[in-house]
DNA sequence: GTAGCATGGTAAG
DNA sequence: TTACCCTGCTACG
């Protein structure tokens, strides 16, 4: 379930569970064995995320760079009496043993796109090539606007381009454009700066909520299942959404059939009535 | 049981 | 543009 909120939530959890402790590090699967051994027994300082990039910091300015990709997972179990044998392909296992209580906490990383031991210089290079992240307090939305306002590329492609904006994935893309009534195929430069500001501010709120709850919920109070008397959505990410993966179904706001088209090699979703390609004369 | 797809991104062709 | 990484869920038979 990895859009930016998942990685920030994971960084917080890793810091909470393993921060400041000496940890055992290994690669049951073997593909990360040599690097994992180099930090085995070292002190884990903390973890931090920039967009979908996660960095776990160890003493000596060493970092494990993790990118979950489409289906990677990092499952953490706290305070277990016994650490179980690894199930499936575990690329990286992290274990903290609490001598006083006799329990242990552990984390298993499976199916990541990236898992590598890097230097601080390498970490900074990764951070330097991604756009501002709505989940970081120091992020500068003007950096993204500089790209968007000069681009003829579709806004739906731009908001998912991690070098423009970091952390937004296919769900937040569809939902934030719906909430601002913007058709995903509109060129970036056709947006007004005020629209971009609204999108950014909204992403800050939506994604923070995502970090807090671990789900992507984007429907406004008046459009919740309870408010509308409709049945709740059942999906693997668990949140309530307007258009994401609702192709052919009725828009919660206007009833029109939700449309879909491949954009950036990903399925894009929008409501043809709520998100017109061009603003009507009357609306201007 | 299992085919097909997916919240992502890179690298090869 | 396609293959891949090789997880996990859903839909279908």
Give A170-215 as a 3 state SS string: HHHHHHHHHHCCCCCCCEHHHCCHHHHHHHHHHHHHHHHHHHHHCC
How many CB atoms within 10 Å of residue A243?
A: 27
pLDDT at A235: 63
CA A50 → C1' B9, Å? 15
Using a 7 A cutoff on CB, list residues near strand C.
A 29, 31, 69-73, 75, 88-89, 91, 110-111, 113, 234-236, 265
Q: Taking the model in full, what pTM does it have?
A: 0.94
Residue-range domain boundaries for chain A? 4-128, 141-270
CA A281 → C1' B2, Å? 53
Q: How far is it, in rounded angstroms, from Cα A30 to Cα A260?
A: 41
Q: How far is it, in rounded angstroms, from Cα A209 to Cα A248?
A: 28
CA A61 → C1' B6, Å? 35
- Closest residue to C9 (CA to C1') is A236
- Closest residue to C4 (CA to C1') is A113
How many CB atoms within 10 Å of residue A284?
A: 6
pLDDT at A236: 58
Which nucleotide does the CA of A216 lie closest to, via C1'? Answer: B7
pLDDT at A99: 84
Closest listed residue to residue A23, CA positions, set A49, A48, A56, A55: A56
Closest listed residue to residue A170, CA positions, set A157, A180, A185: A157
Identify the burial level of A59 via C-beta atoms within 10 angstroms of its C-beta, where 0-12 means exposed, 13-18 middle and 19 or more buried: exposed
Low-confidence ranges of chain A (pLDDT < 50): 280-284
CA A240 → C1' C11, Å? 21
pLDDT at A281: 42
Q: How far is it, in rounded angstroms, from Cα A6 to Cα A108?
A: 15
Active-site residue list of A: 2-3, 52, 266
The position carrying tokens 């993790």 is A66
Tell me the CA distances in angstroms from A15 to A18, A117, A129, one per residue in order. 6, 18, 25
DSSP state of A130: S
Q: How far is it, in rounded angstroms, from Cα A189 to Cα A227?
A: 36
Which nucleotide does the CA of A234 lie closest to, via C1'? Answer: C10
- Closest residue to B6 (CA to C1') is A70
Strand C nucleotides, any atom under 7 Å from protein beta carbons: they are 2, 5-10
Q: What is the domain class of A141-270 according to CATH?
A: mainly alpha
Contact A197, A141 (CB under 8 A): yes
What is the CATH code for A4-128?
3.20.190.10
Same fold, A4-128 and A141-270: no
């Amino acid at each position: 379930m990895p859009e930016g909120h998942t990685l920030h939530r994971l960084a917080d959890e890793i810091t909470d569970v393993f921060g400041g402790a000496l940890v055992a590090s290994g690669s049951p699967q073997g593909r990360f064995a040599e690097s994992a051994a180099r930090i085995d027994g070292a002190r884990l300082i903390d973890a931090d995320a920039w967009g979908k990039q996660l960095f776990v910091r160890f003493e000596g300015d060493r970092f494990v760079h993790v990118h979950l990709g489409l289906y990677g997972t990092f499952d953490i179990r706290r305070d277990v009496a016994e650490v179980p044998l690894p199930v499936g392909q575990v690329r990286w296992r992290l274990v903290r043993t609490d001598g006083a209580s006799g329990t242990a906490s552990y984390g298993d990383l499976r199916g990541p796109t990236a898992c590598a031991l890097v230097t601080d210089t390498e970490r900074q290079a990764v951070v330097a090539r991604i756009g501002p992240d709505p989940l970081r307090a120091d992020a500068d939305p003007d950096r993204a606007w500089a790209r968007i306002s000069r681009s003829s590329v579709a806004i739906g492609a731009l908001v998912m381009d991690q070098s423009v904006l970091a952390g937004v994935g296919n769900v937040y893309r569809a939902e934030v454009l719906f909430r601002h009534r913007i058709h995903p195929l509109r060129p970036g430069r056709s947006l007004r700066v005020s629209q971009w500001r609204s999108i950014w501010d909204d992403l800050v709120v939506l994604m923070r909520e995502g970090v807090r709850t671990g789900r992507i919920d984007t429907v406004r109070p008046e459009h919740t299942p309870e408010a509308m008397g409709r049945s709740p959505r059942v999906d693997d990410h668990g949140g309530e959404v307007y258009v994401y993966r609702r192709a052919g179904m009725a828009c919660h706001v206007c009833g029109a059939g939700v449309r879909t088209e491949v954009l950036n090699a990903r399925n894009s979703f929008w409501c043809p009535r709520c998100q017109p390609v061009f603003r009507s004369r009357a609306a201007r």
